[in-house]
């Protein structure tokens, strides 16, 4: 396949690149309007989003957005390969946001890299939500969901981590450096609103972080935990459950097919798309 060429895995097979923009636009216009009467179609929303960031229409992007939209409508899986400069993020985020808002569903966007997660959360989704809000009637709500060990665990902070036998063998200078980082983490624990490790600047060593975080397996469960109601990981999951678009990673999606027990998607079977950069978009079937 060539850059800018989107392919849907269906009886229709692959499609040539000639005339793709016009046809894709037609596809977008004709691809289902259930529950979205009166709202702009995907092509229209994409045009709004592109104009908002000062960009120009790109045929490959229009084609990809139409393919994603049609995959959502038909429930078919979709694999897309598109080159740099296609504008792939908007091509899947626009139909995803439209579907989430019109169907009151949660769409899960799963990425292979933290860098892409950050790009989506810090740049693409805030812009998109602001741009599409007026056209959709409200701004799409988005959230990021990470594995539990990425959030500070208040129970571990208060109760202390089990002793790590390996630490005994460490150079005392290393231990004291780790100790200072752990001390800083305890101070941060009293201030942070999210407990998200990525918000701690500068960061700390893995060894220090392990003193204040737990894996899903190590968590004693929010029901039993005395800090369950204040737990950062649980709050992140709750937020994800209320969001229209949830950004997560493949590992978490693999262990939790709907990217978290709180998402609306959990209740229904989902479908997904995958792009060349490793971003996947999943949505619940109707």
Residues that bind ligand SF4 (CB under 6 A): 148, 153-156, 214, 219-220, 222, 225, 227-228, 231, 233-234
- CB nearer to ligand SF4: give 100 or 213: 213
- CB nearer to ligand SF4: give 155 or 264: 155
Backbone phi, psi, residue 271, to 5°: -125, 165
- CB nearer to ligand SF4: give 125 or 143: 143
- CB nearer to ligand SF4: give 57 or 218: 218
- CB nearer to ligand SF4: give 82 or 236: 236
Q: What angle do CA 254, 256, 257 make, to 5 degrees?
A: 70
Residue 197 Cβ, how far from ligand SF4 at the closest point, in Å?
13
Residue 209 Cβ, how far from ligand SF4 at the closest point, in Å?
13
Q: What gap in Å lies between CA 164 and CA 14, rounded to an integer?
A: 55
Residue 120 Cβ, how far from ligand SF4 at the closest point, in Å?
25
Q: What angle do CA 229, 239, 206 make, to 5 degrees?
A: 75
Residue 264 Cβ, how far from ligand SF4 at the closest point, in Å?
22
How many angstroms separate the first and last alpha carbons of the chain?
31
Q: What gap in Å lies between CA 84 and CA 73, rounded to an integer?
A: 27
Residue 214 Cβ, how far from ligand SF4 at the closest point, in Å?
5
Q: What gap in Å lies between CA 27 and CA 273, rounded to an integer?
A: 17
Whether residue 247 contacts residue 145, with contact meaning beta carbons closer than 8 Å, is answered with yes
């Amino acid at each position: 396949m060539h850059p800018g060429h989107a392919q849907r895995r269906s009886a229709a097979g692959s499609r040539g690149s000639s005339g793709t923009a016009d046809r894709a636009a037609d596809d977008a216009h004709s691809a289902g309007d259930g529950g979205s009467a009166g709202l702009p179609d995907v092509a229209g929303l994409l045009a709004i989003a592109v104009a908002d960031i000062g960009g120009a229409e790109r045929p490959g992007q229009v084609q990809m957005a139409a393919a994603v939209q049609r995959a959502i409508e038909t429930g078919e899986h979709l694999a897309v390969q598109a080159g740099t400069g296609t504008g792939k993020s908007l091509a899947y985020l626009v139909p995803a946001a439209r579907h989430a808002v019109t169907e009151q569903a949660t769409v899960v966007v799963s990425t292979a890299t933290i860098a892409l997660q950050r790009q989506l959360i810090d740049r693409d989704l805030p812009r998109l939500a602001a741009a599409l809000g007026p056209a959709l009637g409200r701004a799409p709500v988005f959230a990021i969901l990470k594995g539990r060990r990425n959030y500070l665990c208040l129970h571990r902070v208060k109760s202390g981590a089990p002793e790590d036998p390996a630490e005994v063998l460490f150079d005392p200078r290393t231990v004291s450096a780790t100790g200072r980082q752990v001390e800083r983490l305890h101070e941060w624990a009293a201030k942070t609103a999210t407990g998200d490790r990525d918000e701690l600047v500068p960061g700390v060593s893995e060894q220090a972080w392990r003193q204040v975080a737990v894996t899903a397996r190590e968590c004693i469960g929010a029901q039993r935990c005395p800090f369950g109601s204040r737990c950062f990981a649980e709050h992140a999951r709750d937020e994800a459950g209320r969001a229209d678009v949830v950004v997560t990673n493949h590992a978490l999606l693999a262990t939790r097919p709907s990217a978290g027990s709180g998402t609306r998607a959990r209740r229904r079977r989902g479908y997904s798309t995958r792009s060349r950069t490793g971003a996947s978009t999943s949505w619940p079937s109707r």
